[in-house]
Chains A and B, each alone.
Chain A
Amino acid sequence: MTVPDAWYLGLSAVLFAIGIVGVIVRRNPLVIFMSIELALNAANLALVTFGARLGSPDGQALVFFVMAVAAAEVGVGLAIIVVIFRSRHRLSVDDLSLMRW
């Protein structure tokens, strides 16, 4: 059975949309962060699909770069979340309101 590549692209677009909506509607920084990771992985899926369609390994090579960068992002992001949690003992972006306008 073969799956047409438009389906992969459709799935990738849906994942990206879920990620973006998640960032906008969720209030917990960890979940927001997960949604962003989902959007990054949607881009990875699109890169692999396009690479396969073009018959070039470039798409997969790019995915390795993205995965390395995403891992670094997780490291930094979780550290920042821990610092916030230590000083406030709660985790919601609604609390991040010391500075406005």
Chain B
Amino acid sequence: MTPIPAPPIAWNALLPILVLAGTAMLVLLADLLPPRESKQHLGALALAGIIAALVIALVRWGTDVCGFRDMVRLDGYALFFDIVIAYAAALVVLLSMDYLRRRGAESGEYYALVLFAACGMMLLASAGDLIIVFLGIELMSLSLYVLAGLFKSRRQSSEASMKYFLLGVFASAFLLYGIALLFGAAGSTNFERVAAAAARNPHDTLLLIGVALLLVGFGFKISSVPFHMWAPDVYEGAPTSVTALIATGSKAAAFAALIRFLTTALRPLQPDWTALLWILAALSMTVGNVVAIAQTNLKRMLAYSSIAHVGYMLVGLVAGGPQGTSAILFYLFAYVFTTAGTFGVLTLCERTGGTPEPDGDGAVDVREYAGLGRRSPALAFALTFFLLSLVGIPPLAGFFGKFYLFGAAVRAGYVWLAVIAVLNSAVAAYYYLRVVVYMYMREPEGAAATLAPSFAGGLALAIAFIGIVLLGVMPAPFVELAQVAVAPLLR
């Protein structure tokens, strides 16, 4: 009998993901052990795992490993996103520790699910094969569906979970059918083999239908117009710490997979998808910003603003080339800090007094932020900075993010798209600054409690704050990192 040789397994290519998955299982086990009344130690354990994954990603910078029949690739590009995702997950865990206790929803599964979602995100960042894209999206999304419904007694939370689930799975069906058709057209789901097939016969009908279905699936996951309808409801209904994870990590991860898929597998079709993304970018920016003006619920407003930010990032994809692509990476890095910080302030400000009523929402209406500048000057100051960075005021991170994106668009000849983007940024300033006006120039209605952030929450805000100032004051080294990261894609 001839022995069957074992296939080589490149564990190296999965190292940060394995660390996260291992930590998640440890958290689930430790959840069964005492102490039962507090779960703070589980949060600390989850945080330790995330920091370990972050350190691994930083140490491995500059290496390039490929494994599992080229399905998983841990190159500079994946490592860059691993770092972004690790930061997002760490900030979310820090924010959750205090928030969940106040809302009475502390549980070990929460931290395990955040870690599993982060695994899925990192898998997306290193995907070199469509089936890994599918698995990564599902691992990330299934964890997030459960997390969105975490507050079981709150009807908005379960409603958000249901809507997110049905629309998310619907999008997955499109994605999967697209993968099946691409497999038929290219004979493989590997990005490089798909690229070879697309170069041979760029206008094969099967290939084009498959690509269109895949883009619908991706459009849902990054919540670009016209596939954005789930975003406001889910952002509003989900626990705010989970909203922060959906807005930062899941968006970064979906973009990671989309950029790699478009720039490597579909490079022969670049003129076609560029024309399509031009329209999606313009629509996302305009619809997101215009509808955001009408919102008084801050979480909903941030949902529409995140749709607009997706539009800005698509501008970078339209521009293409090393400049456009690296600008998206820098923008995402800045966006993770800014958005996590904004939602962080929201978690700290949510009303806590009394019993959590089934339909009651936390303090998310803009009117409840009246007078925050006097009640908690530090929180108001931090929120002002995060909002200014979202507007894109120099010298904060958001300004340079937009500057590089729009600059790349102009240099690539898409002047009109850049003009639309700049006009949209001006519109966006209105609704971001309205919150600042409420905080500093309106008197609070009724007696409002002063807020004291916990140590973990304060630490998260401090990290996010340092992040946006650092990226804004000295963006050059980070832009260089982003350029190094995208270099292997554009060879």
Contacts and interface: CB of A to CB of B under 8 A. Distances in A.
A53 B184 contact: yes
Contacts of A73: 138, 142, 169, 172
Nearest to B294: A101
Interface string B163-201: 101100110110011011101100111000000000000
A69 B291 CA distance: 35
Interface string B146-165: 10010011011011111101
Interface in B335-393: 358-359
Given A42-B177, A76-B142, A80-B149, A62 B131 contact: yes
Nearest to B236: A99
A10 B179 CA distance: 17
Interface in B112-145: 131, 134-135, 138, 142, 145
Interface in B44-74: none
Given A36-B170, A40-B176, A77-B169, A84 B159 contact: yes
B123 to A, nearest CB: 13
Contacts of A83: 149, 152, 158, 161
B407 interface: no
Main secondary structure of the interface of B (DSSP, over half): helix
Contact of A72 (B138, B170, B176): B138
B221 to A, nearest CB: 15
B183 A62 contact: yes
Interface in B79-128: none
Bin chain B's interface residue count. Answer: 35 or more
A51 B186 CA distance: 11
A29 B166 contact: yes
A84 B155 CA distance: 8
Nearest to A95: B159
11 contacts: A29-B162, A39-B173, A42-B177, A43-B180, A46-B180, A80-B145, A80-B158, A80-B165, A83-B152, A83-B161, A99-B232
Interface of A: 9, 12, 16, 19-20, 23, 29, 32-33, 36, 39-40, 42-44, 46-47, 49-51, 53-54, 56, 58-59, 62, 65-66, 69, 72-73, 76-77, 79-81, 83-84, 87-88, 93, 96, 98-101
> Lowest 5 CB-CB distances: which A-B pairs, in order?
A50-B184, A39-B173, A46-B180, A43-B176, A43-B180
Interface of B: 131, 134-135, 138, 142, 145-146, 149, 152-153, 155-156, 158-163, 165-166, 169-170, 172-173, 176-177, 179-181, 183-184, 187-189, 232-233, 236-237, 291, 294, 300, 358-359
